[in-house]
Structure 1
């Protein structure tokens, strides 16, 4: 049963780079959208808040698979423009998880004590200065643990890209399932699980480093591992 382990690992590893590309691309886009949408939901302008709320609710309230199919199969029919499979996947991951991340940003900013806002006003800071120099640095410490979980969910969401034939790890695992290896399906998918587990641990490690850095920047004691896990920083 285990004679073909090296072959299985090699084939699945062929999709590792694509999975990492989709994950990193999705994380970058989701992070940008999270901050833009999260701060927009705190805008004084009703129209800005309304448009942002529509984006958040639409992308949180609809199926990720349907979103992927819509962008990859329906959009070309409507516009004549065909996205590359990987780019379609990155776009869906970014838009979908950016909608969830927007609520993380909004909640973290609102969690900063009112006294901090009042102190900024007393120092005659402009709204942009208040956000950049006082509010966001403190809010970032609160954002990192939930963003850790969000990014791990995004990593696992890359498996959906197999539906549009992106050769990521899950797609590569299904390629192995030719008649000669159908009896070793448990081994194949156990190896695949371990690949995802290792990538999740890497994300958690990097996010813990970021949390400690953010905490030091605002003069806080870096949180212990147990505290980070209790706040949602563990591997999902």
Structure 2
């Protein structure tokens, strides 16, 4: 059997595996989106605490961030799945275990992006909030965070793609995710077809969609600050003609 005939046979096998591959891919999508939502909430809370002038908030936040950044996602997954039940805290499903492990791990990384973005807001903005006698929650909510939000999105976008790839470890707690189903496909085809073709295309397309979505979110955040075009202008198929520097009669 030559190589082309073998690949044709593999594609026929893939058709039979199609429903399983699709279900595994959907599970990976759910893990990524729900885990990212939890990670974002944790990142904002810890990031705000780490950037607080109050030592009683900043200190515990630093300890939590460094602990979860300094330990392996795989170890944390085992810890949530096997160790927490020893203390009487059993999560309802393996899916919840995966979401919690992903959310806590990447939330700790995201907290640094939030804190760094807060400190990147110009000192003049901070000074203006002090001059207006704004409380810490008020200044963060109304002035600082909207500006920091546009700055932190690129870093959060990178973490989102890393979270997608990190979700591949959840098969060890019994979840039949995309990576698990790819391994089952490998058993009846080969590693090249299952991982280097089906897996590569699947993960890449989902990562591309996530990245483009985050870029649109960044553009919207910048537009709200008066920087850059609107989403309508970005998505419009009509070409954008610059108007600055053009004199009457067409002379520049």
TM-score by length of 2: 0.82
Instruction: Give distance in 1, aligned partners of 2:29 and 2:144.
Output: 32
Cα RMSD for the two superposed structures: 1.7
Match of 1:38 among 12, 32, 47: 47
Answer 1 or 2: higher relative contact order, Cα 8 Å, separation at least 6: 1
Is 1:18 matched with 2:27?
Answer: yes
Instruction: Give distance in 1, aligned partners of 2:85 and 2:128.
Output: 52
Q: Which residue of 1 aligns with 2:136?
A: 127
Match of 1:6 among 6, 9, 15: 15
Q: Is the 8 A contact 1:211 1:222 kept in 2?
A: no
Match of 1:53 among 53, 56, 62: 62
Counterparts in 2 of 1:155 and 1:168: CA distance versus 1, 3 Å: same
User: Is there any run of 5+ residues in structure 1 with no aligned partner, and where?
Assistant: 224-236
Instruction: Give distance in 2, aligned partners of 1:42 and 1:217.
Output: 24
Counterparts in 2 of 1:131 and 1:176: CA distance versus 1, 3 Å: same
Is 1:95 matched with 2:104?
Answer: yes
Q: State the secondary structure of the residue aligned to 1:43.
A: coil
Q: Is the 8 A contact 1:22 1:90 kept in 2?
A: yes
Q: How many residues align?
A: 220
Instruction: Give distance in 2, aligned partners of 1:73 and 1:89.
Output: 12
Q: State the secondary structure of the residue aligned to 2:52.
A: coil
User: Is there any run of 5+ residues in structure 2 with no aligned partner, and where?
Assistant: 1-6, 231-252
Which is further off, 74-83 or 63-72?
A: 74-83
TM-score by length of 1: 0.87
CA apart distance, 1:175: 2.2
